[in-house]
């Protein structure tokens, strides 16, 4: 007998998933929710750091005004993430890079959990909390999970800032263009755990659909994208994504 969750996965989606060669997965904060990382919207209060709302401490303005305070907030977040493990959704997505001949993972997340689960060549449209960037020459440097964070740029000696897209900033050059190219080529596009409100990332499913892709959303809540999708799987990514794969039906 099929579980209520498994019965949500229509036969057409399973068939397309098994036959597809070119697949794109777009993820947002919801894919990390089951690992214990809070989302930005929905399900409670938004983050506040020392009395400052998230969108103020994580803003371009704050980098100019008080870079050490911005680092304090990002150091705190990295400290929490060190203890956090990928969940079944990250793990399933990491398996898929070996299943499809053309596979792209585009994430709005900066937490590095896709990579921790084994995903490679992740297109990070909002940057990574595990990298710093020079404010002058833009040289990037990795931040080790354990051990101290580099303080100054190795190349020019100027100050480093988090290599993350902050409120009021543009996306890193090239990342969105690459994601848009991949979206226009895919046959199947899975949109997982994003409120689909923040552009331009939210336009990727539209680009995929315009290129003829079958669009599937995985989210416990409806989003502005839901009505536009071929199929909506309502529930948690960690429970639903593994059900798309071959194997015994529950």
Closest CA to 132 of 165, 162, 153: 162
Q: Can you name the residues that pair with 189 across neighbouring β-strands?
A: 24, 215
Nearest distance in Å: CB 110, ligand OAD: 7
Smaller CB distance to ligand OAD: residue 80 or 156? 80
Radius of gyration of the chain, Cα coordinates, nearest whole angstrom: 19
Q: Does 47 bind ligand OAD (CB under 6 A)?
A: no
Contact string 114-153 vs ligand OAD (x = CB under 6 A): ------------x---------------------------
Q: Does 161 bind ligand OAD (CB under 6 A)?
A: no
Cα(48)–Cα(76) distance, rounded to whole angstroms? 12
Cα(10)–Cα(2) distance, rounded to whole angstroms? 12
> Binder to ligand OAD among 13, 23, 39, 104 (CB under 6 A)?
39
Q: Which of the following is catalytic: 90, 98, 126, 146? A: 126
Q: Is 126 a catalytic site residue?
A: yes
Q: Can you name the residues that pair with 152 across neighbouring β-strands?
A: 159
- What is the dihedral sign for C-alpha 190, 172, 122, 208? positive
Smaller CB distance to ligand OAD: residue 22 or 174? 174
Smaller CB distance to ligand OAD: residue 102 or 168? 168
Nearest distance in Å: CB 108, ligand OAD: 3
Sequence-ordered strand ranges (E) for 91-205: 102-107, 123-124, 127-134, 140-142, 160-164, 188-192
Q: Does 172 bind ligand OAD (CB under 6 A)?
A: no
Cα(237)–Cα(174) distance, rounded to whole angstroms? 28
Q: Does 200 bind ligand OAD (CB under 6 A)?
A: no
Q: Does 205 bind ligand OAD (CB under 6 A)?
A: no
Nearest distance in Å: CB 195, ligand OAD: 3
Strands 52-53 and 231-233: unpaired
> Binder to ligand OAD among 6, 14, 34, 131 (CB under 6 A)?
34
Reading the block at residue 87, the tokens are 């969940």
Contact 76, 49 (CB under 8 A): yes
Cα(5)–Cα(236) distance, rounded to whole angstroms? 10
Binding-site ranges for ligand OAD (CB under 6 A)? 28-30, 33-34, 39-42, 108, 126, 165, 193-195, 197-198, 218-221, 223, 236-237
Supply the residues annotated as catalytic: 126
């Amino acid at each position: 007998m099929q579980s209520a969750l498994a019965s949500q996965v229509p036969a057409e989606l399973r068939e397309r998933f098994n036959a597809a060669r070119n697949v794109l997965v777009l993820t947002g904060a919801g894919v990390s929710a089951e690992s214990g990382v809070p989302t930005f919207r929905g399900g409670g209060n938004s983050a506040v750091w020392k009395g400052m709302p998230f969108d103020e401490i994580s803003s371009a303005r704050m980098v100019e005004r008080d870079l050490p305070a911005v680092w304090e907030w990002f150091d705190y977040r990295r400290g929490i993430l060190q203890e956090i493990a990928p969940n079944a959704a990250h793990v399933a997505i990491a398996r898929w890079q070996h299943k499809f001949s053309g596979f792209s993972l585009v994430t709005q997340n900066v937490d590095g959990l896709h990579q921790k689960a084994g995903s490679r060549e992740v297109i990070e449209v909002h940057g990574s909390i595990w990298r710093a960037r020079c404010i002058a020459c833009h040289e990037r440097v990795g931040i080790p999970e354990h051990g101290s964070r580099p303080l100054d740029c190795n190349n020019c000696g100027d100050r480093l800032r988090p290599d993350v897209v902050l409120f009021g900033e543009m996306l890193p050059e090239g990342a969105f263009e690459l994601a848009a190219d991949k979206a226009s080529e895919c046959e199947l596009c899975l949109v997982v755990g994003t409120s689909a409100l923040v552009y331009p990332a939210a336009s990727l499913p539209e680009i995929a659909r315009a290129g003829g892709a079958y669009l599937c959303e995985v989210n416990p809540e409806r989003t502005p994208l839901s009505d536009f999708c071929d199929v909506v799987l309502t529930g948690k990514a960690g429970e639903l994504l593994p059900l798309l794969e071959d194997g015994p039906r529950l």
